[in-house]
């Protein structure tokens, strides 16, 4: 009987941890005001001068891009946001190799950081 209870307790702990670690779907995410405010940022120098610096925010392909980033690697706990998950995934944007950075707040399903750096 003791062994059975031990196994049951371990199984319940595993279920609890899995629900805590659950990653929201890309379709359920919304932008924070900070991320949303970057929609109008413009590249100031270089070959893309005058172009939007983050055209991937709030476009028809945003959900697909988020899904690709989130499926490319397992998230890590964000070092700043207590309920945050972070992805740093290699990728390409405008023909340049770099890293997609994505941080979400699990408690509100909100994107708090979304950037490409090379």
- Residue-wise pLDDT tens digits, 51-72: 999 999 987 778 999 999 999 9
Mean per-residue pLDDT for 74-78? 95
Residue with tokens 């706990």: 77
| Cα–Cα nearest to 29, from 88, 117, 107 | 107
* Predicted pLDDT at 5: 64
* Confidence at 17, pLDDT banded by 50, 70, 90: low
How much is the average pLDDT of 86-99?
A: 96
Report, as an integer, the average pLDDT of 37-46: 93
pTM more than 0.75: yes
């Amino acid at each position: 009987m003791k062994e059975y209870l031990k196994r049951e307790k371990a199984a319940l702990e595993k279920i609890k941890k899995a629900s805590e670690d659950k990653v929201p779907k890309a379709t359920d995410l919304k932008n924070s005001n900070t991320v949303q405010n970057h929609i109008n940022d413009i590249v100031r120098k270089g070959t893309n001068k005058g172009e939007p610096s983050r055209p991937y925010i709030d476009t028809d392909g945003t959900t697909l891009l988020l899904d690709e980033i989130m499926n490319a690697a397992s998230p890590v706990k964000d070092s700043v946001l207590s309920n945050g998950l972070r992805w740093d995934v290699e990728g390409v944007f405008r023909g340049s190799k770099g890293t997609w950075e994505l941080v979400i707040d699990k408690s509100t399903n909100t994107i708090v950081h979304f950037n490409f750096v090379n």
